[in-house]
Structure 1
Amino acid sequence: MLYIEHLTKTFGEKKAVDDLSLHIAPGEIYGFIGHNGAGKTTTLKSVVGIQQFDSGRITIGGHSIQDDPTACKKMLAYIPDNPDLYEFMTGIQYLNFIADIFGVEESARQERIRKYADLFELTTDLAQPVAAYSHGMKQKLAIISAWLHEPKLILMDEPFVGLDPKAAHILKGMMREVCDAGGAIFFSTHVLEVAEKLCDKVAIIKGGKLIRSGTMEEVKGDDSLEEVFLELEGESC
């Protein structure tokens, strides 16, 4: 599904991502763990084509994000850590706008909007301008918009920040449904307890370098993910 091969990105003299290689297969929820500034967001932005990188190759469903970005973007959805939505629109206008971009048919979009808006208890707020939404409501709207075109790959940067416990539970269920249907999820998080319970595989990045990756069992062994992460964070690169 997603191949990241020898990805390198520098900002000035700093290597934000240093020769990173990962493979996210269909059916996998893949967690991306690291401290602030470790290179997680730079990696995600590179994958979705909004951040140029210096060297390496990224392919999604066999298409290169550099050579065929449109084909890649049709297959994916991206939720940044701080949803930057068009606040002059109402919630329903924003969802229809996203559905138009991805060519979602009218009947399908209405069914999906109704389904996910009801799940997140946002239906009655869709007539309100996005500017009036709280951070959590904006996050819910961004999640709904990401699911509208049924992407094969969903990338999320700290998706649980700002969500109440019920919404977080709903999102975890939606993520598993995507993977059970043959899609894949690649997301960063600081909530290690969630990652440990939810993820099939996990990668830990430090100073732009991949320091451990694999199945949850391979990475953490008999310890907790938090214990392993703190131990690795304490080691020198």
Structure 2
Amino acid sequence: MKAQDDPARHSGADGPASALLLTGLHKAFGANVAVDHVELTVPQGSFFGLVGPNGAGKTTLLSMAVGLLRPDEGRSEVFGVDVWDGPVQGRALMGVLPDGLAMPERLTGRELLTFIGQLRGIEPAVLAERTQELLDVMELNDAETTLVVDYSTGMRKKIGLATALLHGPRLLVLDEPFEAVDPVSAAALKAILVRFVESGGSVVLSSHVMALVEQLCDTVAVMVNGRVVAAGPLAEVRGEQTLEQAFVRLVGGDEHAVRGLSWLAS
């Protein structure tokens, strides 16, 4: 199991090239250290899961990684491009679905994709073709006249993923993409992400749902209190246990300890 401070993980000399390389990322809000000098490598072609309890710093880390939040220290590189030194080139390589993504809600799904595509400078004919394909794949054609404000949670996640895929990124960074999503929508999203990786893309997915990460991801990192305490191939991190059992051990919890509440016993 490779720890956070293992320098071999960042050299790229003994493993696949990185899709995302985080070096010494650090962020504090006053006296609260949200992300503590994190070092992390996401190999190209991997389905990478970032797991941790609520408040572990996952969202802050990913926000700095994709250029939404400036770090106090450290670097984030996407396929070798520094996200902060080369923001246009770096962000063109990524599709991002932040947690709680805000979208123009008085547009239909087609109008939203068209608007985003125009902002990205996609040729009109290419944009129209991609928009139709994404609406088909996301099964949103039946909501052709529905405004985004009236979308269900699952539909919002789908259209958010569609905006992230529209420009043909090489890396997807998704923060809690399955939270509050119904099983049918979740199944569709999973199939799209698996297909993206199989076609050569890379995915970083954050979640606190261990079963989901274990089902989808081949590589994982466990984050606790702003630090990465374990990272590597899924089988290596979990060992002979399930990922949930390994996670509980790594964060110092006791899955069988339920103390107090004696008044609940009849």
When normalised by structure 2's length, the TM-score is 0.84
Partner of 1:131: 149
**Corresponding residue number in structure 1 for 2:110:** 92
Q: Write out aligned runs for 1:39-188 (5 A).
A: 39-188=57-206
Asked whether 1:214 is paired with 2:214, we answer no
Deviation at 1:57, TM superposition (A): 1.0
1:214 partner SS? strand
1:68 positional shift: 0.8
Count of aligned pairs: 235
Q: What residue is the counterpart of 1:6 in the other structure?
A: 24
Tell me which residue corresponds to 2:260: none
Alignment RMSD (CA, Å): 1.4
Q: CA deviation at 1:7?
A: 0.8
Structure 1 residue ranges (4+ consecutive) displaced by more than 4 angstroms after TM superposition: none
In structure 2, the residue matched to 1:37 is 55
More displaced 10-residue stretch of structure 1: 111-120 or 126-135? 111-120
Distance 1:102 1:181 in 2: 23
TM-score by length of 1: 0.94
Distance in 2, Cα, partners of 1:40 & 1:193 = 18
Residue of structure 1 equivalent to 2:7:
none
Task: State the structure with more CA Rg.
Answer: 2
2:40 to 4, 22, 25: 22
Corresponding position of 1:193: 211
- 1:35-58 deviations in whole A, cap 9, x for unaligned? 111110001100111101111111
1:43 is matched by which residue type in structure 2?
A: L
Quick check: 1:89–1:129 contact (8 Å CA) kept in 2? yes
> Does the 8 Å CA contact 1:49/1:65 hold for their aligned counterparts?
yes
- The runs of 5 or more residues in structure 2 that have no matched partner are 1-18, 254-266
Q: Percent identity?
A: 36
In 2, Cα distance between the equivalents of 1:118 and 1:15?
43
Partner secondary structure for residue 226 of structure 1: helix
Aligned partners of 2:239 and 2:126: how far apart in 1? 43
